[in-house]
Amino acid sequence: MPSFDIVSKVDLQTLDNAINTVKKEITNRFDFKDSHVNIELNKKELSLTVEVDSDMKLGQVLDVLVSRTMRQGLDASIYDQSKEPYQSGKVYKKEIPVRNGIKQEDAKKIVKMIKDSGIKVQVAIMDDIVRVTGKKIDDLQEVIALARNSNLGIPLQYINMKS
């Protein structure tokens, strides 16, 4: 029976390249001359720490970060920007976790969305992967189209298509 997996994975090397590109652009920009800007990627915890002088510059750095990430081929929704920035002395800091893997509640939303659509497929949750199995490849392609058009707020990839 044909099947495929729905995953949400971030390529660390591509993310690291995007962060390095952001650092280079920020150091070359005139409006950031002589200002404190520090961007650190923690690969173990998959989080990003941004430190800047002012709240306005934080917004500019985040805009550059999102645009460069998208140019590297990553989805902009990999950054969980729900945490508010905080001030530490003269520096504004923002912790940005990077979403990697599908959480259990997100996997349940995906399964519910597929089952509610009425497409004749079987859906199973395996850790941070959602496996979709069906009798026809056309049904699986319908599920991919459905997942792409839905706004779940997480970046999804579709891998291991087997017929």
pLDDT in tens, 20-41: 999 999 999 998 888 899 999 9
Residues of the chain with CATH 3.30.70.860: 3-8+101-162
Backbone angles phi, psi at 140, to 5 degrees: -65, -40
For residue range 39-84, list pLDDT tens digits in order: 999 999 999 999 999 999 999 999 999 999 999 999 988 999 889 9
What is the amino acid identity at position 95?
E
Query: Boundaries of CATH 3.30.70.990 in the chain?
Result: 12-97
Q: Which CATH number fits domain 12-97: 3.40.250.10, 3.30.70.990, 3.20.20.70, 2.60.40.10?
A: 3.30.70.990
E strand spans, 13-128: 37-42, 47-52, 86-88, 91-97, 121-126
- Asked if residues 58 and 85 have their Cβ atoms less than 8 Å apart, the reply is yes
Strands 129-134 and 121-126: antiparallel
This prediction has a pTM of 0.82
Beta bridge partners of 41: 48
